[in-house]
Amino acid sequence: MEKATFAAGCFWGVEHAFQQIPGVQSTAVGYTAGDLENPTYEQVCTDRTGHAEAVQIEYDPGQVSYDQLLDAFWQCHDPTQKNRQGPDVGTQYRTAVYYHSPQQQTTALASKESCQERYDRPIATEVAPAVVFWMAEDYHQQYLEKRGQASCHVPGSSP
């Protein structure tokens, strides 16, 4: 198993998108790349902790490649919007790929460059090393699945 970590706005819909991919063994939503240890949802929502809402994925590289995960990442949000997705605004909703190895870094940067060819505006996605991932509260895990919903995306918020 390998890990991948992505931030693409509200983590509920992003998690659901990755759960649909064969080879993804597990997903967890949480907070990363901030300044506060063990942050809560309420703290992150203040836009003062520096954390991004993110999804950490465990996947079987024999069933799904990191490139395929990156393709899903680019498709599930608008990577040209800095610190917002749809109605959600703040640094916690930024777009980011947090890599876990030099190979992931190289692949993510190449994928970002390729993705840029599809947009007129610059891609705002940061590519940065993975740091501590703080699990979100239990009620956030598999949030949409628990409620029988397929999406929380706002129509027209993705390319």
Question: Residue 143 and residue 140: Cα distance in Å, rounded?
Answer: 5
Given 10, 45, 115, 152, the catalytic residue: 10
The answer to whether 64 and 104 have CB atoms below 8 angstroms apart is no
Average pLDDT in the 146-152 region?
59
The pLDDT, as a whole number, for residue 159 is 35
Give me the domains of the chain, ranges plus CATH numbers: 2-146 (3.30.1060.10)
Q: What is the pTM of this model?
A: 0.89
**Residues above pLDDT 90, as percent of the chain:** 77
Is it the case that residue 24 has pLDDT exceeding 90? yes
The pLDDT, as a whole number, for residue 146 is 61
Q: How confident is the model at residue 147 (pLDDT cuts 50, 70, 90)?
A: low
The pLDDT, as a whole number, for residue 151 is 54
Annotated catalytic residue 10: yes
Q: What pLDDT, in 10s, does the model give residues 53-65?
A: 999 999 999 999 9
Question: Residue 73 and residue 78: Cα distance in Å, rounded?
Answer: 10
How far apart, in Å, are the Cα atoms of 133 and each of 78, 90, 114, 153? 23, 19, 27, 24
The pLDDT, as a whole number, for residue 144 is 60
Q: How confident is the model at residue 143 (pLDDT cuts 50, 70, 90)?
A: low
Average pLDDT in the 133-149 region?
73
Q: What pLDDT, in 10s, does the model give residues 90-127?
A: 999 999 999 999 999 999 999 999 999 999 999 999 99
Q: How confident is the model at residue 141 (pLDDT cuts 50, 70, 90)?
A: confident
Average pLDDT in the 15-31 region?
95
Helix spans in 1-159 (H):
11-19, 41-44, 66-75, 102-116, 143-146
